[in-house]
Amino acid sequence: MSIPGFSDRTAPLNGHRIAWSEGGDGPPLLMLHGFPQTRALWARVAPALAATHRVICPDLRGYGDSDKPAEVAAYSFREMARDQIALMRHLGFDSFAVAGHDRGARVAHRLALDHSKVVSRLCVMDIVPTHTLLEPLQRQVATAYYHWFFLAQPEPFPETLIGHDPDGYYQSCLLGWGGAQLSDFDAEQLAAYRAAWRDPETIRGMCNDYRAALAHDFHDDAADLGARIACPTLVLYGADGAMAQAFDVPATWAPKCTGMKARAIPGGHFFVDTNPEATTAALTAFFSA
């Protein structure tokens, strides 16, 4: 699925082929999707932002039309952040704003820490910091986010189980973490997600993303516990999502930021899909400030 009014492109970047869509004119804005989706996540959000920004929406490595390397280490948020730096430099941008949802928000957080002079504004959507989620793991969180530990099991165990019915498994994810229904998702976007996650290489890539979270990202975040995001930061979260039920989401981010605003969006974890109007309004206000 193409984002309306956007051009689809690919290029070899940071050692791997990365696919993205771009459109609009103005200051650059990078938008990163999450699990188990693709850049089609932004189809009903990005066109409005393109009225005031040059909007770039890549597929993360392991997802969509981007490459899917075999090594688990290749899926660390640090490595995926390097993809984004390479992409934006390829497009001629030395600094830019970033918005990310779910896994994309974790990549965006790492991007802002590792490349603080590059990121001008940051929005993270419906996550708490990785170390905060994993270190004092609560029973409620472990139950709701069991997929972190299922997907991280050694290959090929989760790939084999998911591969028997990828639609059934990944749709159960879309319907969790806030109680959405399939009818809440745009039919074309849902078709794009299905086409991507039916690919066995994508299944493996998404598992490797979660394997890397436990094997690499947790330790990277532990080493940076005192680090703070230097740029203005917006924290959006689903008012009915699993994270809002388990955490005071803004409070988890306040010590990580030098300047932060937070806002709950009606809906669960996938509020970008189910409430694109409110998502667009919040992003437009923040990135046009």
Q: Output the pLDDT for position 289.
A: 87
pLDDT over threshold 90, residue 2: no
* Structure confidence at residue 76 (pLDDT): 98
Residue 1 has a pLDDT of 79
What's the pLDDT band for 260 if we cut at 50, 70, 90?
A: very high
pTM of the model: 0.98
What domains can you pick out in the chain, each with its CATH number?
7-287 (3.40.50.1820)
**Residue 145, pLDDT above cutoff 90:** yes
User: Buried (b) or exposed (e) across 30-54, using 16+ Cβ within 10 A?
Assistant: bbbbbbbbbbbbbbbbbbbbbeebb
User: Residue 5: pLDDT band by 50, 70, 90 thresholds?
Assistant: very high
Chain-wide mean pLDDT for the chain?
A: 97
What pLDDT is attached to residue 235?
A: 99
269 is catalytic: yes
Predicted pLDDT of residue 236:
98
pLDDT reading at 178 higher than 90: no
pLDDT for 15 beyond 80: yes
Q: Which of 59, 65, 83, 102 is catalytic?
A: 102
Lowest mean pLDDT among 136-145, 155-164, 191-200: 136-145
| C-alpha dist (Å) from residue 209 to 134, 204, 260 | 15, 9, 27
Which among 100, 73, 69 has a CA at the least distance from the CA of 84? 100
Residue 62 has pLDDT above 90, yes or no: yes
Residue of 33, 53, 109, 269 marked active site: 269
Question: Does the pLDDT of residue 221 top 90, yes or no?
Answer: yes
pLDDT at 46 over 90: yes
pLDDT, residue 202, reads 98
Q: Is 248 helix (H, G, I), strand (E, B) or coil?
A: coil
pLDDT for residue 43: 98
Q: How far, in Å, CA of 98 to CA of 115, rounded?
A: 12
Please state, as a whole number, how many other Cβ atoms lie within 10 Å of the Cβ of residue 266. 11
pLDDT at 264 over 80: yes
* Amino acid identity, position 46: A
